[in-house]
Amino acid sequence: MKREQITESLEESGIIAVIRLDDVARLEKIIQALSAGGIRALEITMTTPNAVDIIRSLARKLNKDFLLGAGTVLDTTSAEQVIDAGAQFVVSPVLNIDVIRKAHEFDKPCLPGSFTPTEILTAWQNGADIVKIFPATALGPRFFKDIHGPLPDIKMTPTGGVDLDNAAKFIEAGACCLGVGTSLLDKQMIANEDWPGLTALAKKFIAEVTKGRQLTPHS
């Protein structure tokens, strides 16, 4: 898929699951469980041991409708490595304009991290496909509404602190999709290989996204 198509798919899915796990067998099961629950995107962070090899292994096996991305990408070398391995999108906790440009060289979307209004606008003006607000824990849903007052066209996604209690609120406030980590990828469920439980949790998050979209003024 082209960059614009991938971005649209991330928005439509509503949830980007974020994980740090080096067990490829379990990751395959996790992806199956998430897919069954309606989630179609997973971000493997570069803080995962052997992340590039894991992305390469998973990318060969995945259904084309499921998007595999790389997170915690801090430099252009890492960006090129993960895209070569099969990552369909690149995420960073910080704003590195060169990483945005490198991802675009390969026609892949980049979601750089930003925290302040200046960083958010700078990211957007330099081609960010979606601006990742990180850490969203410190800001909350209201921040998205406040930013969209003067900057209504910027696509933003929160990462950090997103859970079932605030997921709909972030969407209602203007987030185009959500980055969700441990509140979705429950460590105990994964340890117990409770895949039906993980699917049920995924469905709950998708339901909250739907609820939030129904509450937005333009819906």
Active site residues: 43, 132
Transcribe the chain into DSSP letters: --HHHHHHHHHHH-EEEEE----HHHHHHHHHHHHHTT--EEEEETTSTTHHHHHHHHHHHS-TTSEEEEES--SHHHHHHHHHHT-SEEE-SS--HHHHHHHHHTT--EE-EE-SHHHHHHHHHTT-SSEEETTGGGT-HHHHHHHHTT-TT--EEEBSS--TTTHHHHHHTT-SSEEE-TTTS-HHHHHTT-HHHHHHHHHHHHHHHHHHHHHSTT-
